[in-house]
Every structure is written in C-alpha cells, then in structure tokens.
A and B are shown apart, each in its own frame.
Chain A
Amino acid sequence: MGSSSPGREGIGRPGEGARASARPRRVPAYRRSAEFRWTHDAERCARCKRCVQQCGFKALSWEDGPVVDPDKCVGCHRCETFCPQEAIAVVPNVQHYRPHPLWGQAHRQNVYLQAETGGVLLTGMGNDLPYPILWDHLLLDACQVTNPSIDPLREPMELRSYLGRIPDKVEVKMKDGRPEPATEMGPVLQVETPIIFAAMSYGSISLNAQKAIAMAAAECGTLWNTGEGGLHEELKPYADRAFVQCASGRFGVHADYLNAGAAIEIKIGQGAKPGIGGHLPGEKVSAAVSETRMIPVGSDALSPAPQHDIYSIEDLKQLIFALKEATNYEKPVSVKIAAVHNVAAIASGIVRAGADMVYLDGFRGGTGAAPTIIRDHLGIPIEIAIAVVDQQLREEGIRNRASIVAAGGIRSSADAAKAIALGADAVAVGTAALLALGCTLCQKCYTGKCSWGITTQDPRLTRRLDPYVGSKRVANLVRGWSAELEEILGAMGVNAVESLRGSRERLRAVGLDKTTLEILGVKPAGVGA
C-alpha cells in the first residue's frame, strides 16, 4: 500500500499561531491511515481497465495493471461491482494505530486532517455515530386468539393516506333523506402508501437520480420533493406528485413553479444540519442547473442558514400565507424542520401559523453535504420528535389541522410502521431511495464525484444512472415496503393504516428507561393491555 509521504516543512513555523483566525493554510500531511484496503487478484484480472474507468474518485490508474491511490479510495465499491472477473475486493482497512477506548481511529484521523487543513470537516449522508437507535428498542404487536389477524394476501388492506389539513368534524345535512356533507375540505394530498420521498435537490443529486425518484413516485401513487433546486423542465410531467420546495436560497422559486407542484414545502431546517445553510459551489452550477435554479452559470448557490424573511413564528405565518395567496389556496403547505430539543412547541407554532403539514427530520437524516460536527451532534432522534409533536398537537386539540411527516433514518418498513404507530401520518425516505439507485453509503456526496452517478453533475458519471431502470428499482422498494406494511397491519388485525396511526398501544419497548418510555408514550414489553 502506498501513501503520501510525510512532509515536515511548515510545521511549527514561528508566527503561525498568530494567524489562527485567518484563512487556514494547508500543510502537508503526516501519514494518515487509509480507510480502505483495495486488493486485486492479478491472476484473475482480465486487464480490461474497467475498474479505472469506473472510479469517479480517480483512485485508480493503470500502470501495466491497476494501481490504487489508497487515500482517494472512498470504499464505494463501484470498481468491485463492475469488475467482470471478480478480481477486486475493497475491505475496511484494519486500524493500525494503537487501540484506545477514548481516541478512536475516526477521532484521530479527523484531528490529523484538521491539523493538515485547518478546515471544517465535511461529510455526506446521515449521522454514522453509534447513538442508540430507538427503533431497535421498539417492538410491534400481533393478534392471538382474542382478535384475529388478517391475511393481507387475500383480504382488503388499505394503506391509502391523506396529507394536509383535515377538519375536526364533518357536518352533515340531510337532502331528500340522504346525508350530504356541509363541511368543505381544503386541499389534501392522496397517497397510496404512507411512504413518500424526502427532499433531494437537482444539484445535490443528478437529474437522472431525481428523475428516477419522480417516476417512481408517480408509479406508486406517492410524492417526491424537488428540494431547493427548482424544477427541471424534464421533471414537469411529474410535478403533480411533487412537493416544490421554497428554502432560504429561493432557487427557482416563482409563481409557475409554486403552482406546478402538488404541494409547497417551506424548508426551515434539515435533520443532518439543523441551523445550517449550505451552498452549491459555482463550478457545479452548470447551464442546466443555472436554468433550473434561476441563477447565473458558475455562481455559487448559497442557501442562508435562516430564511431571511423568517426571524420569528409570525414571520413564518406571513410566508405560509404569501405562498397560499400565490397559489389561490389550492396547495397544501408543509413546513420542514429539523428535530431539535424544543420541537413540540415549535411544531405547535407551525401548525398554528397555518401549515398543513409538519415535516420532521430527525438527527440521523441524510444530506448531500454538511459539517461533520453538525451532522453528528445536533438535534434529537426522530422517534422522540414524532412522539412529542403528536402528543403536543393532541393535547392542544389541533392534531387534525396538520399531518406529520417523519424522516431521518427510516431504514425499513418496520421503522415506518413504528413511526406511524408513534403518530406519523407518513414517513419520508431519502437514503433508502438512493441505496435503491446503487448508493453504497460512502458518504462522499459533497465531493460531486459519485461513481454511481447519483450525487454528481459530471456527465461522464451521471449517464451511468438510467432513470428508467432506477425508477423501477425505487418503485420496487416502495412496493416491497408497502407489502410488508400490509403484513404488519394484518398481523395486528387491522385492515387500514389509520388504525395503526398513533396507536402506541401496539408498541412495546425493550431496554428503555422510564423517562424515555413516558416521552414515547410506550409501555415496556411485558405489560399487557
């Protein structure tokens, strides 16, 4: 294994400390441990060079055989997957630092990197620290004897859900002896499964990736989300299944855009980076991105940390109604926030400000790029956020006024079922959809070099992702999870998802402390009805 040679020049130069607040100066690295060991069986190799071509990170070159630059290998397994001879294996590198219980390898690597660069650590995808995963402490109920389970294979099973503001009651008037509703229903979104797609902008992901998800949403009768990147011309046919997002950068936001979508989402925050904005570097603002975002080619696309017309809750109300006015009150408005400590009160304020949906993004939610420290240490678990928001809205008697969409680490239909039982109307999935498109969670989305053509704008890479094939894979995932949700409902003896929604009685906890149980509103396993 090679590595860059340790350099010593520049270290400890006098006067360096005085410049600590100025732009950090990169100094050559000591030897850092490569994260992955790239191995290659020369006897099996057909010398086709495909591995070199496939690597988006330019970690491989050809010198009478593939040669790796281990510092560049991110472990995305693209080369391994596409090697026709199965000659390649990418495995985690064995830690060769002295083991230490406090100073794990990642901490040391980060310190070395920051000593080298003086920069803020950057990462992609969701939090990868081993915080407790509450989903894995919750178990679902099933019927035995006293009520029958229902076989979802044969009996009708309903996952159809509605998102948006629902009146508290139906007033019925009799006309010619028949009941008729006297209540008017505002705009609501119908989804055939309570699984929707999380916001991922064109820019953060490729157009092909976004198109695959949009097509899958249309195929499955569910919803996708433009993210803060505007609506590309090619995706307009799928706009009627889209949330069009209005975030702090206001990219691509104009009246036609707002009216094109099924619903509008105001993005306040993101689970992976609560309180943090973002930017798409100018070099990624290609002609197509420029057109979609409605900014000049090559200019940085800056998303400020806050929305600068919202410094308080009443300002949120102002924006919600500005959007409703612009769309003639025909589109439900969602407000997306990161799950933070005071999430229940914040969500209540959002609902009272007129939002029709509250989108909660837990601290494990994904991102295209976020400071590692922010991603890994801010926010609260989505499980807790759903529980406290649902309970708060119920206690205030305003639960019907807005739907709760939960996101941030939904890994399976079981997580979705547990989220729904805690009180979510629907879950949103981002990472799982990207995994369906080939993502291997290398967490290097922010580099724009994604070998799988997902989080890149490099045409050489994006063309690897066939949106039609991709849409089938993503739709299959939704179908598989939906069928599993039906199995779960059937085992619980209910045939409509609304009978699970908020039914915490169907959850039991293992290994959680009393306070957490109270917050979740869930009984420990062993306590019966």
Chain B
Amino acid sequence: MRIDARELHYRELNRQIREAVAGGETRFELANVNGQRYIGDGIQGEKVQIDIEGVPGNDLGAFMDGPTVRVRGNAQDAVANTMNAGRIVVEGRAGDVLGYGMRGGELFVRGKVGYRVGIHMKAYRGRMPVVVAGGTAGDFLGEYMAGGMLVVLGLERQDGEPLIGDWCGTGMHGGVIYVRGEVDPRLVASKFASMGPAEEKDREDMRPHVEAFCETFSLDVEEALAGAFVRMAAISHRPYGAKYAV
C-alpha cells in the first residue's frame, strides 16, 4: 500500500495504516512524509513493513510490537519509545531520547544519534533491545540503562569529533555499551559505569547485531568491527542502595 503523506495530518495517515493492518495489509510505502508523528505507534505484527520516504515526526515506532520500519532519510526525537519488538532502520541521523524504555527489538541508525540515547532501556524475559548507531552519540548515552545493548561505531567521524558526549552511563544499572575506539574516561559516569576494553566474548555478543546493521546498510562488517572497542557496564544493579539513611 502506498500513501502520499504530503499535507496529510498524522491522525489521518496513522488511521489509514491501522485500518489497512487490520485488513491484512503488510507492506506500506509512505511518500513525502515530513514531521508526521507516531508512525507505527502501537502497531503489532512481525510481517508489517513500513517504508518511509522523508522525515517522520517524533515518537516513530512508539509502543511498536513487531513491525519493521525503514526511514529513507533522517528521523527526529523519541524514536522507538517504549518499543516492545520489531526493527527500526534510519538511513540518516536521528535525534534525542531514542529507545526510551525500549524493551525489545532493534534500532539501527546509519548516522549520528543525539542526546540520551538508550535511556532506561531494559531487558525482560529473553527480550533484549539493541541500538546500533553508525555515527557518534551525544551526551547521556545509556542514561539510566537497565538492560540491552548500545553500540556506537563512530564511522565517518569528523576530525576531533568525540565518539560520545558527557555523562555516558549515568544512572546505569544494567545492560552494556560498546563504543568503537578510545573514550576519554572523563566522559563516563564513573559512579555508575565501569569502562574497559571489549574482550573476545564481547565481540561475539556484538557481532550478530553489527552484522545485521551492516547488512541493512550494505556496509562491510569487518570494517565496522575493525579496531578496538571499549565496553561500559553497570557497576551495580542497585546503584542507589547506599544513598538512603536506612
């Protein structure tokens, strides 16, 4: 099903998608999208595929449970908000607060990602959310992270551009963050997260996700995995245990 989203309000656009999904439609091509929010919001079904040409609005794939979304452009803030399952692929860059409370599924962003990526991501009953960013990430990466995996590959990085921003892993109490390259320890919230070199086991854990990422964007896996990675992990699952006067 092809929908021209030009001048189309998000409510109308999303209504059409929901009704078509209910009627058994599985393939969507959305053209001329610009800023329409909530695309894929709450849609269930692993067979559903949504192709977006343009820049979708905030909350892309919020509460989504199964579908695959591909954005042939940049995405804005709050992609994969509280997503349960499925895959979101962004060919360009994406904004802030990606994967907030994400419980499962994958988010692949070819380019840079903004602030607070993977905030409060969690793993639950065999589900493990994964976010892979091909570019660099902003401040507060993996803030509050409770589970899942964040990978920052730092491909096509400008001279002097940091791989990640300040306060990485602050409040982190689960999950793992991998960054390809060296990270200034001052960027990592040492009260919560420890940083060390990624070991062979880590590369094994990461590999299937990076492979899927590279396949999605037709990139060379070995190039994406070349060089050393650092690994950030929570120091404690209960970082606030000692804070209170009890």
CB contact list, B131-149 vs A, under 8 A: 140, 143-144
Cβ-based interface call for A483 (8 A): yes
CA distance A110 to B167 in the complex (A): 61
CB pair B171–A154 under 8 Å, yes or no, is yes
Asked if A498 is at the interface (CB within 8 A of a chain B CB), the reply is no
The answer to whether A480 touches B170, judged by C-beta atoms less than 8 angstroms apart, is no
Q: Are A153 and B167 in contact (CB under 8 A)?
A: no
Minimum CB–CB distance from B195 to chain A (whole Å) comes to: 17
- A132-151, CB < 8 A from B: 151
Number of interface residues of A (CB under 8 A): 7
| Interface membership of A234, Cβ < 8 A | no
Q: Whole-angstrom distance from the CB of B170 to the nearest CB of chain A?
A: 4
A151 to B167, CA, bound (A): 13
Question: In the docked arrangement, what's the CA distance between A153 and B169, Å?
Answer: 12
User: Which of A155, A156, A480, A483 is most buried by chain B, counting CB atoms within 10 A of its CB?
Assistant: A155
Per-position 1/0 for B221-246, Cβ under 8 A of A: 00000000000000000011001010
A480 touches B192 (CB 8 A): no
Q: Judge whether B245 and A480 touch: CB under 8 Å.
A: yes
Residue interface bits A478-513, CB-to-B below 8 A is 1, else 0: 001001000000000000000000000000000000
Specify which chain B residues have a CB less than 8 angstroms from the CB of A154 in the assembled complex. Answer: 143-144, 167, 170-171, 189, 192
Contacts of A153 in B (CB 8 A): 171, 239-240, 243
Closest to A483 in B: B243
Nearest A residue to B116 via CB reads A155
Residues of B near A483 (CB, < 8 A) are 243
B87 smallest CB distance to A (angstroms): 28
Are B170's CB and A155's CB within 8 A? yes
Please indicate the chain A residues that have their CB under 8 angstroms from the CB of B240 in the complex. 153
Contacts of B243 in A (CB 8 A): 153, 483
Chain B 127-166 interface mask (CB, 8 Å, partner A; 1/0) = 0000000000000100110000000000000000000000
Near A by CB (< 8 A), chain B positions 182-238 give 189, 192
CA distance A480 to B243 in the complex (A): 9
| Chain B, range 8-48, C-beta contacts under 8 Å to A | none
Binary interface encoding of chain A residues 152-194 relative to chain B, with 1 for a CB under 8 A from any of its CBs, else 0 = 0111100000000000000000000000000000000000000
20 pairs, CB–CB < 8 Å, chain A vs chain B:
A151-B144, A151-B171, A153-B171, A153-B239, A153-B240, A153-B243, A154-B143, A154-B144, A154-B167, A154-B170, A154-B171, A154-B189, A154-B192, A155-B140, A155-B143, A155-B167, A155-B170, A156-B167, A480-B245, A483-B243
Q: Which 5 A-B pairs have the closest CB atoms?
A: A154-B171, A154-B170, A154-B143, A153-B171, A154-B144
Other A-B pairs, 11, CB within 8 Å; known A154-B144, A154-B171: A151-B171, A153-B239, A153-B240, A154-B143, A154-B167, A154-B189, A154-B192, A155-B143, A156-B167, A480-B245, A483-B243
